[in-house]
């Protein structure tokens, strides 16, 4: 069963993957050309491929891809997670509280501690979602909504405006690699959570498709009855995966507070959890697909800002501001083609004979 499922997934993915790879290589080639040759004198090309555009893209991509990975972990095991936004926000707030209460610690220690707290609280939110969905057989969409409302309400209620987080992660250049032209400053001169997010894409991919745990997770998400019949504890997998997913969303929140901004803001996730969901769907519930989709959404945000900064167009600002949203809608509704969610997604699993 699982072998067939895997085969069909990979064959469907291969064309997509090939196209994405070609696009990515073309982008790198253009970026090198624009930043290293006289082509860079064209303002439009600089807007599209300049180092600042690529850096902005990566930065906007990180929370989206972490959110999408969170969604993938949950949904591959059959639990719909629309609460990513709430888990992210809870993580962000927890990270902020941890940072402000450890301001007097050495900066690095305090930051790492705060990330750990953010991840733990994100995981806790994931566990609550799993509890609602599995133990109480609650509609998973509603449970996700409760998570969002709970995080938004609790974080605004408890937020102390006088609290100041002192310091955030600075970039750590990778020795050697960061010296490479164009690619170095974009990929190898980043703060730690950015590296971590990129590594996690690979880790989740390998874990899902090449380990026993991944095989069982996918089986639980596709056909829980079959999984159960060979002795897999379906609900235990769902609890674990949803909690892990929550931890990734918490890490996305930590990125916002401890790496991107250095301060908390009410509702600061600003819909990133929902865009993550779109990235997850657009990426067909695959980690690398999600990375590609998140990068596309990040790129449109970068483009929006580059256009505004360069002032090269007379198009009213409001239309430029629509760019990320229009691309999201087009991508999810049209471009995406056929995607297939895990078959058992959103369905409560009860062992045979249980009431």
Partner 1 sequence: MNSSRLITLFTILTALALVLAACPAPAAMPAADADSSAATDDGMAGEFKVGLVTDVGRVNDRSFNQSAWEGVVAAAEGLGLAEDDFKYIETQDAKDYADNIQQFIDADYNVIVSVGFALADATNTAAKDNPDVFFIGIDQFQGETLPNVAGLIFNEDHSGYLAGVLAGSLSQSGTIAAVLGTDLVPPVVAFNEGYIAGAKSVNPDINVISTYHPGEISQAFVDPEWGAATAKQALDQGADVIFGAGGITGNGALQEIATAEGAGETVFCIGVDTDQWNTVPAAHPCLVSSAMKLITPGVVDLVNLASEGAFPGGNYFGDADLAPFHDFDDMVPQELKDLLEETKAGLIDGSIDTGYGN
> Rounded to whole angstroms, how far apart are CA atoms 107 and 37?
40
**DSSP label at residue 179:** G
Out of 24, 166, 202, 329, name the contact with partner 1 by CB under 8 A. Answer: 166
Q: CB 293 → partner 1: shortest distance, Å?
A: 19
Residues 6 or more apart whose CB falls under 8 angstroms from that of 227 comprise: 216, 219, 220, 234, 237
Number of residues that bind partner 1 (CB under 8 A): 53
> Rounded to whole angstroms, how far apart are CA atoms 245 and 274?
15
Residues 312-341 that bind partner 1 (CB under 8 A): 317, 320-321
Identify which of residues 174 and 339 has a Cβ nearer to partner 1 in the complex: 174
Identify which of residues 161 and 338 has a Cβ nearer to partner 1 in the complex: 161
Residues 6 or more apart whose CB falls under 8 angstroms from that of 15 comprise: none
42 binds partner 1 (CB under 8 A): no
226 binds partner 1 (CB under 8 A): no
Asked if 83 and 148 touch (Cβ cutoff 8 Å), the reply is: yes
Residues 186-225 that bind partner 1 (CB under 8 A): none
Out of 65, 220, 260, 280, name the contact with partner 1 by CB under 8 A. Answer: 260
Residues 68-87 that bind partner 1 (CB under 8 A): none
Span between the terminal Cα atoms of the chain, in Å = 28
| Residue whose entry in the numeric block shows the structure tokens 């409560």 | 348
168 binds partner 1 (CB under 8 A): yes
Identify which of residues 122 and 342 has a Cβ nearer to partner 1 in the complex: 122
Out of 262, 332, 347, 348, name the contact with partner 1 by CB under 8 A. Answer: 262
> Rounded to whole angstroms, how far apart are CA atoms 197 and 263?
20
Identify which of residues 107 and 232 has a Cβ nearer to partner 1 in the complex: 107
Nearest CA to 125 among 93, 149, 95, 151? 151
Out of 72, 247, 268, 294, name the contact with partner 1 by CB under 8 A. Answer: 268
Out of 85, 222, 306, 345, name the contact with partner 1 by CB under 8 A. Answer: 306
Measured between alpha carbons, how far is residue 38 from residues 27, 34, 42, 167, 307 in Å?
17, 7, 8, 39, 20
Out of 61, 304, 327, 344, name the contact with partner 1 by CB under 8 A. Answer: 304
Out of 5, 9, 13, 55, name the contact with partner 1 by CB under 8 A. Answer: 55
308 binds partner 1 (CB under 8 A): yes
309 binds partner 1 (CB under 8 A): yes
> Rounded to whole angstroms, how far apart are CA atoms 89 and 158?
13
Asked if 80 and 215 touch (Cβ cutoff 8 Å), the reply is: no
Identify which of residues 136 and 213 has a Cβ nearer to partner 1 in the complex: 136
> Rounded to whole angstroms, how far apart are CA atoms 258 and 137?
36
Residues 6 or more apart whose CB falls under 8 angstroms from that of 37 comprise: none
**Which parts of 211-260 fold into alpha helices (H)?**
212-222, 224-229, 234-254
**3 state DSSP class of 352:** coil
Out of 50, 83, 221, 224, name the contact with partner 1 by CB under 8 A. Answer: 50
Residues 102-161 that bind partner 1 (CB under 8 A): 128, 131-132, 135-136, 138, 146, 149-150, 152-154, 156-157, 159, 161
Out of 270, 326, 330, 335, name the contact with partner 1 by CB under 8 A. Answer: 270
Task: Give the length of the chain.
Answer: 355
Residues lying near partner 1 in the complex (CB under 8 A) = 50-53, 55-56, 59-60, 128, 131-132, 135-136, 138, 146, 149-150, 152-154, 156-157, 159, 161-162, 164-171, 185, 256, 260-263, 265-266, 268, 270, 302, 304-306, 308-310, 317, 320-321
């Amino acid at each position: 069963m699982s072998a067939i499922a895997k085969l069909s997934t990979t064959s469907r993915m291969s064309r997509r993957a090939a196209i994405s790879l070609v696009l990515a290589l073309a982008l790198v080639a253009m970026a090198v050309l624009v930043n290293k040759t006289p082509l860079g004198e064209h303002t439009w090309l600089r807007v599209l491929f300049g180092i600042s555009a690529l850096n902005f893209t990566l930065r906007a991509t990180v929370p989206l891809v972490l959110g999408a990975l969170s969604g993938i972990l949950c949904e591959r095991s059959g639990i719909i997670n629309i609460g990513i936004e709430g888990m992210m926000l809870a993580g962000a707030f927890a990270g902020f509280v941890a940072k402000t209460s450890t301001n007097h610690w050495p900066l690095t220690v305090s930051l790492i501690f705060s990330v750990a707290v953010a991840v733990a609280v994100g995981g806790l939110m994931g566990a609550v979602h799993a509890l609602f969905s599995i133990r109480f057989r609650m509609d998973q969409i509603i449970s996700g909504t409760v998570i969002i409302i709970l995080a938004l309400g609790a974080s605004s209620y408890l937020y102390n405006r006088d609290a100041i987080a002192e310091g955030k992660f600075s970039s750590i250049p990778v020795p050697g690699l960061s010296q490479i032209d164009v690619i170095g400053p974009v990929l190898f001169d980043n703060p730690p959570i950015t590296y971590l997010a990129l590594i996690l894409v690979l880790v989740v991919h390998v874990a899902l498709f090449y380990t026993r745990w991944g095989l069982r997770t996918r089986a639980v998400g596709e056909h829980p009855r079959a999984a159960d019949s060979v002795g897999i504890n379906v609900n235990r997998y769902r609890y674990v995966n949803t909690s892990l997913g929550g931890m990734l969303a918490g890490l996305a929140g930590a990125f916002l507070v401890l790496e991107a901004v250095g301060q908390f803001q009410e509702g600061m996730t600003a819909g990133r959890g929902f865009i993550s969901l779109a990235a997850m769907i657009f990426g067909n519930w695959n980690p690398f697909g999600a990375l590609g989709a998140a990068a596309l959404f990040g790129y449109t945000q970068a483009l929006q800002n580059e256009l505004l900064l360069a002032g090269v167009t007379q198009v009213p600002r409001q239309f430029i501001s629509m760019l990320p949203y229009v691309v999201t809608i087009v991508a999810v509704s049209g471009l995406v083609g056929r995607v297939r969610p895990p078959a058992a997604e959103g369905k409560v699993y009860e062992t045979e004979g249980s009431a």
